[in-house]
Amino acid sequence: MMFGNINSSGAVIDELESGMVSDILLPNQTGRVQKVAVDIGGSLAKVVYFTMTGAGGRLHFQAFETDNVDKCIAFIKTLLDSRGDSSSDLPVIVATGGGAHRFGDLLRSQLGAEIRVEDEMQSLTTGLSFLIREVTDEVFTYAQDQPMQFVNAGSEDPFPYMLVNIGSGVSILKVTGEGQYERISGTSLGGGTLWGLLHLLTGVQSFDEMLEMTKTGDNTKVDMMVGDIYGTNYDKIGLKATNIAATMAGVYRKSLGKQYNEADIARSLLYMVSNNIGQIAYLNAQLHGIRRIYFGGYFIRGHPLTMHTLSYAIDFWSKGQMRALFLRHEGFLGATGAFFNDEPRANDAQRSRRRGYPRTRTYSFTENFSVAQSIAGAESVGALGSLDRQPAALEALPQLVDTRRHMYEPDTVDLASNVEQQAYWIQAMERNTRGLMQMASDGTLPFEGNLQRMQAFGKLYLRHLCRLREQPLAYGPMSVRALLGLREQCLHEVGLHDIFAEVKKRETDAALRQLPQALATVDVLDQAEDQLRLLLQNVLAGNMFDWGASELRGEIADGELDFARARDRITWQPQFDSSQEFVHRALKTPYNRAVVFVDNSGADVCLGVLPLVRFLASQGTSVVLAANSRPALNDVTEPELNDIVERVSAMDKCVERAVKQGNLVVCGTGSSGPCLDMRMLDERLVSQCADADLVIIVGMGRAIHSNYRARFTCDSLKLAVFKNQMAADAAGARIYDALCLFEPGISAEAIDQS
């Protein structure tokens, strides 16, 4: 198996095999296998399969060498067998690629299942359209001096595009819409040619080894360079002395006296094939008036030199007008497409309904890196995670400003380019993880589940962090959001679904006992203005109770931090405080509907957020409380918040009335991380938010690490405390400064014109 789970999951698998933690079975992989797609190419057999888990599910990717197709078939058989006898429905095997025909009979006889063969080109385009639609940060550009720049397509129509699929041979497809494609060209001078030549010229067997060789090779030792002929640049026609005049032409010109080795030949031929494909791709794009050129297929395999050469060719021939685009799941286009070919597609009516956001989703996936697979060898760019299908479709908040001129970028700091912050955050996560494990083992953190799982989690996550330190872009863009999200994924992966469940329950109970007193303190004030100001301060005080903040966690765990003390700790600076503007605006004309993205359970939501919501409701504002759909740290979840609201209704008439009248509803965000991507919210939440004229975002994860620069077409209020030194430094704040940022709504058109 060439892909193998070479990294992270090894932590779990090693222990499984040694019998240490035999009860840890990757829970998400035990789901029922629904469907298997296999793409058998000339060199590799790629398997994509889907497992159901409750309302969601997971799409897995696996690859085998075609020479070992038996292994691939055995693997599929294991998948089918895992269904047990209980399943009455016949498994569906979808096959594509040249080998689908060649190995059709073998598949049928070995698997005892019906094999449905899907057209190869159709599958490729369906796969690509699916991936660019469903996977954030799937697409990137590459150059040696600017490795892996992720392309945010925003709300742009992804069509038309061109797909250059490089396998043994090369196919060039023009795709004008979902399921609409045409093979416009191709060449047989592709990966197979390179492998054949390199095998014969260097004796090396595997493609990975060949790619390895290209790294140390120097093509100028076998190629005839422009400089070899002219002695200098050929400026009149724009050729540099370092440009290749003729591939491999240096080897028989004795006069050039070139000494070369096999690695030099390998690099020369890699350049030759990539350059030539790039040129043919450019010429086709030019003839068909297409500017987006995706390169896919197993030839690329994240190999930096290959991608650099293709990018260079496109840039050179198009004089900078076109860019070569690459995909993280490049090797799996065909298998993914075969899998989805017969799935219902969003129809045109749906598409026009969501005008301005043409990336229609029939259902939505998020990428999970906890069991990441490397795309190829150690030097390759990127890894790919499995895709978790969310129980609901994910959509953008309608009020989010995300236009070509003002593109929404969820993350505040790009840790890939900011080396200092990157080192800090990786180290902070490592410290934090060790702290968590310590707290779990000494009982400071009472949690359900056994310690071995906790250790397995620690090992898994620390291994990911180790890899990210070496390859910051291995899992796409690196941000605090990504690091925090990965931690949650790792916890879930080892079966720890909610380690803070008990803590949350305990703190919520304690907070609710204090609630009547807290409400009375506000109600006693005469002026609405004073009430609202105190309520805002309380939200920030509540937000101090955050187990994710290493600086405070000790005090919280020891019960040393009380609400009043937390409020006193917070400092206010004019540049982060526009509470006056908000109070003024909120009291002038009550808002129609507010959507509040909440943060922690306990004091945060009970003593901070709910009293503010109660005030807004009393003003006639209907409120949507948006909470994480699934657990992350001590963040309150949708079910927990429902329970809390119910208990508060029993204590307070005002809240009870709001709930009864449907003016206070709880909705899941669709997310399970401490930060938030406003483009990926549960469609049910989105439908509740249609007429919201106020967005409130609470907490450091959602308002500082992410969404700090997000703008909305309606008014917005960001409420958080800088509880981390690095985050504070980055924003020019001091630790424990309050963020109470009110921003009036701005129209997308106004932003584009500004």
- Which residues of the chain form contacts with other proteins (CB under 8 A)? 42, 98-99, 101-102, 168-169, 185, 187-193, 195-197, 199-201, 222-224, 229-232, 236-238, 243-253, 255, 265, 272, 275-276, 279-280, 283-284, 286-287, 317
Q: Least distance (Å) from other proteins to the CB of residue 77?
A: 24
What is the rounded CA–CA span in Å between residue 731 and residue 720? 13
Amino acid at 538: N
Q: Which two tokens stand for residue 15?
A: 């222990």
Nearer to other proteins, 297 or 611 (CB): 297
Give whole-number Cα distances, 44 to 169, 380, 416, 475, in Å.
Answer: 13, 17, 32, 23
What residues does 715 pair with on adjacent strands?
694
End-to-end CA distance of the chain: 54
What is the rounded CA–CA span in Å between residue 157 and residue 174? 15
Nearer to other proteins, 100 or 570 (CB): 100
- Three-point CA angle 395, 740, 630, nearest 5°: 40
Q: Which two tokens stand for residue 299?
A: 């030839």
What is the rounded CA–CA span in Å between residue 671 and residue 245? 54
Q: Which two tokens stand for residue 375?
A: 């795309």
Contact 312, 278 (CB under 8 A): yes
Nearer to other proteins, 243 or 619 (CB): 243
Q: Least distance (Å) from other proteins to the CB of residue 103?
A: 11
Chain centroid, CA 715 distance in Å? 28
Q: Least distance (Å) from other proteins to the CB of residue 279?
A: 6
Nearer to other proteins, 196 or 732 (CB): 196
Q: Least distance (Å) from other proteins to the CB of residue 382?
A: 26
Q: Which two tokens stand for residue 557?
A: 């765990």
Task: Determine the 3-state secondary structure of 64 from DSSP.
Answer: strand
Q: Least distance (Å) from other proteins to the CB of residue 273?
A: 9
Bond from prior residue into 304 cis (ω within 30 degrees of 0): no
What is the rounded CA–CA span in Å between residue 301 and residue 293? 17
Q: Least distance (Å) from other proteins to the CB of residue 307?
A: 19
What is the rounded CA–CA span in Å between residue 246 and residue 233? 15
Nearer to other proteins, 191 or 382 (CB): 191
Q: Least distance (Å) from other proteins to the CB of residue 117?
A: 10
What is the rounded CA–CA span in Å between residue 220 and residue 267? 9
Nearer to other proteins, 224 or 594 (CB): 224
Nearer to other proteins, 113 or 197 (CB): 197
Q: Least distance (Å) from other proteins to the CB of residue 316?
A: 11
- Residues in the chain, total: 754
Nearer to other proteins, 230 or 572 (CB): 230
What is the rounded CA–CA span in Å between residue 439 and residue 669? 29
Nearer to other proteins, 224 or 675 (CB): 224
Q: Least distance (Å) from other proteins to the CB of residue 332?
A: 19
What is the rounded CA–CA span in Å between residue 31 and residue 53? 5
Nearer to other proteins, 236 or 653 (CB): 236
Q: Is 69 left (phi over 0), alpha (psi -120 to 50) or beta?
A: alpha
Q: Is 239 left (phi over 0), alpha (psi -120 to 50) or beta?
A: beta
Nearer to other proteins, 143 or 229 (CB): 229
Q: Least distance (Å) from other proteins to the CB of residue 215?
A: 20
Q: Least distance (Å) from other proteins to the CB of residue 336?
A: 21
Nearer to other proteins, 190 or 548 (CB): 190
Nearer to other proteins, 48 or 281 (CB): 281
What residues does 295 pair with on adjacent strands?
164, 326
What residues does 368 pair with on adjacent strands?
386
Would you tell me how many other CB atoms lie within 10 Å of the CB of residue 339? 29
Nearer to other proteins, 283 or 423 (CB): 283
Amino acid at 59: L
Parallel, antiparallel or unpaired: strands 593-597 and 694-698: parallel
Task: Determine the 3-state secondary structure of 746 from DSSP.
Answer: coil
Buried b / exposed e across 373-399, counting CB within 10 Å, b at 16+?
bbbbbeebbbbbbbbbbbbbbbbbbbb
Residue 373: which of 352, 394, 354, 387 has the closest Cα? 387
Q: Least distance (Å) from other proteins to the CB of residue 238?
A: 7
Compute φ and ψ for 340, nearest 5 degrees. -100, -5
State the sign of the Cα–Cα–Cα–Cα dihedral 615, 617, 619, 624.
positive
What is the rounded CA–CA span in Å between residue 557 and residue 380? 43
DSSP secondary structure letter of residue 60: E
Nearer to other proteins, 265 or 648 (CB): 265
Q: Least distance (Å) from other proteins to the CB of residue 270?
A: 13
Compute φ and ψ for 659, nearest 5 degrees. -65, -45
Nearer to other proteins, 242 or 589 (CB): 242
